[in-house]
A and B are shown apart, each in its own frame.
Chain A
Amino acid sequence: AQTVTQSQPEMSVQEAETVTLSCTYDTSESDYYLFWYKQPPSRQMILVIRQEAYKQQNATENRFSVNFQKAAKSFSLKISDSQLGDAAMYFCARQGAQKLVFGQGTRLTINP
Chain B
Amino acid sequence: DTGVSQDPRHKITKRGQNVTFRCDPISEHNRLYWYRQTLGQGPEFLTYFQNEAQLEKSRLLSDRFSAERPKGSFSTLEIQRTEQGDSAMYLCASSLTSATEAFFGQGTRLTVV
Contact = CB atoms under 8 A, between A and B. Distances in A.
Q: Do A and B come from one complex?
A: yes
Interface in B62-91: 89, 91
B101 A44 contact: no
Interface size class of A (residues with CB under 8 A): 20 to 34
Interface string A58-100: 0000000000000000000000000000000101000111111
A35 B101 CA distance: 8
B42 A100 contact: no
Contacts of A6: 42
Provide the main secondary structure of the chain B interface: strand
A104 B101 contact: no
A98 B102 contact: no
B40 A105 contact: yes
Contacts of B99: 33, 52, 95
Contacts of A35: 101-102
B41 A100 contact: no
Contact of A45 (B48, B95, B104): B104
A105 B35 CA distance: 15
Given A43-B89, A45-B93, A95-B99, A100 B104 contact: no
Contacts of A97: 98
B16 interface: no
B45 A44 contact: no
A95 B98 contact: yes
A47 interface: yes
Q: Which 3 A-B pairs have the closest CB atoms?
A: A45-B104, A102-B42, A104-B42
